[in-house]
Amino acid sequence: MQINRAVLQILDFSSSLAVYSENELNMGEEALQDYVSAHVTKGIKDPGLRTGYLNETSQLGQALQQYKDGTTDLVTLGKDIGERLFNFMKQATDPVIIDTIICEAADNNSYLCILLCQAHDAYTHQLFNEEDGTLTTELIPNRAVLPSPTQKLRSFCAINLEDFSVRLFEPKGEYDGEVVYILGDKVLQIDTNPSSRDTVSKVRRIVDRVAKAHEGDGVEELVKVRSMISKNAEVSDTLNPETIVDTVFANQPQQKEAAKKALAEQDMLRPLPVNREFATKVGEKHKIKTDTGIEVSFPVEYMQNSEFIEIVTNPDGTLRIELKNINKILNK
């Protein structure tokens, strides 16, 4: 991911102070380019991203259009976004320091990205020359250390500059007595689809709950769910939960009806966007845990092949797990 330009705003909620830069960051510095690029690349693939579209006629939409047209620059746009963030977040955020990087990033598409980097306390060293000429080393606190490239940001937003589609993740905050998403609900003012992680998690929970409510253990059903999600990701970047329910409970009309009712209550009787890389990984392994504390993790396809694993019901109603065709056992 190439970072074409960027500007840094300092939002200090511990002292109610906002500092808006009047100049862009020097993105020609390799270390800085690598740092911002790493966070944008990681953020734009996060399975916790929610998606939506920014209205081009909104105030922020018009400001972005002016940036696209070249009638305003990133410093001006960045200050506008920074002020919006600060005005909303100062009523909803703990007394922390958040360095906000607003940048234009490009790969096959161009994005306007907002990175909220919450500073944390750390320690560093400092050298002192004493009056007698000796050298002293000390540890001193640093109150504004930013997340490393491998750590997750507090919040992230990427707006596609071609179609104004939005990807974002953020924690909720309480604003004016209401728990909301500050970026999504207040700054961007958009409706969003659930994240890939939430979509997959909700489908699995609904199938598991319905299966167990009808005297099943849910293992076979959840394995089918994982397999379908993974195979679907090979050809599509959307997932239709209704199709999954129809297939998993194909011969169980009561379970199917109950599952569809639960999906409808979650507004999930429609195709939903999913991160294909995340969805593919969902179908790799399944993990079960017995009431005796034994945990077993196995490739999903093995559950559909009794040559490798089989769950058998004993005459007394208890279950027996059989693992087959094992040549060697390794301690982990």
For β-strands 178-180 and 155-160, DSSP reports them as unpaired
322 and 245 Cβ atoms separated by less than 8 Å? no
How far does the chain reach from its first CA to its final CA, in angstroms?
37
Q: Coil, strand or helix: which one is 82? A: helix
Residue 293 confidence (pLDDT): 84
pLDDT in the model for residue 234: 87
> Radius of gyration (Cα) for the chain, nearest Å?
25
Residue 224's pLDDT is what? 87
The two structure tokens encoding residue 134: 């000796």
How are beta strands 238-239 and 272-273 bridged, if at all? Answer: antiparallel
Max intra-chain CA distance, the chain: 88
CA distance 239 to 226: 12
Q: How far, rounded to the nearest angstrom, does the alpha carbon of residue 46 sit from its chain's CA centroid?
A: 4
Within a 13 Å sphere around the CA of 93, how many CA atoms are in the beta-carbon half? 25
Predicted local distance difference test score (pLDDT) of residue 11: 92
Can you list the alpha helix ranges (DSSP code H) found in the chain?
Answer: 30-44, 59-69, 74-89, 196-213, 219-233, 241-248, 253-265, 276-282
Distance, in Å, from the CA atom of 7 to the CA atom of 102, rounded to the nearest integer, reads: 5
63 near 72, Cβ under 8 Å?
yes
Q: Output DSSP code: residue 84.
A: H
Query: What does DSSP assign to residue 72?
Result: S
pLDDT in tens, the chain (332 residues): 899 999 999 999 888 889 999 999 999 999 999 999 999 999 999 999 999 999 999 999 999 999 999 999 999 999 999 999 998 888 877 888 899 999 999 988 999 999 999 988 888 888 888 888 889 988 888 777 888 888 899 999 999 999 999 999 999 888 888 888 999 999 999 999 999 999 999 999 999 999 888 877 777 888 889 888 988 988 999 999 999 999 999 989 999 999 999 999 999 999 999 998 898 888 777 787 888 888 888 777 776 777 888 777 788 878 888 888 888 888 77
User: Encoding tokens for residue 74?
Assistant: 């990133």
What pLDDT sits at residue 81? 94
Tokens of 236: 């599509």
